[in-house]
Amino acid sequence: MSLLIDGHNLIGRMADMSLSDPDDEVELVQRLRRYCLRQRRRATVVFDAGLPGGPAPQLSAPPVEVVFASVGSSADCVIRRRILQARDPRGLVVVSSDRALQQAARSRGAQVVQAEQFAARLTGQPTADSPLPDRLLPEDEVAQWLALFEPGDGCVNTSE
């Protein structure tokens, strides 16, 4: 499945990024590239008001395509157009918290992921729909658990 991402909408939901940072788009693209390589996915991220508008080859590199809306348009319009023109809209995952975009995506059968949820995935934070990350226990804690539950007479060891 291919990701279609509302770039500034996602940046606005990232706890450690700011829309006022002049390098926010570059930072997001770098994170998306790492994510897509790990997940073996492709993504198109669309940003508002870039000059001259259209694909941004200087930022794009597999597996992430970067597109800027032209002056007088918006990322929402570009994303909506791409949803309507998609040959297989069911193969799209639209990342945005914009309700109108979500509705446009769902009406064509595309999946929708809230920008907040996707931001958590990018930063490695667990979400309600993702399992908690594995965490290694310290050796002394493992030893305590093994002692507590080691096979024996079938009783739980309650001594300390």
**Taking 90 as the threshold, does the pLDDT of residue 8 lie above it?**
yes
- Say which residue, 51 or 45, is predicted with more confidence: 45
Q: Kindly state the average pLDDT of the residues 96-103.
A: 96
Q: CA nearest 135: which of 144, 124, 148?
A: 124
The C-alpha atoms of residue 55 and residue 135 are separated, in whole angstroms, by: 40
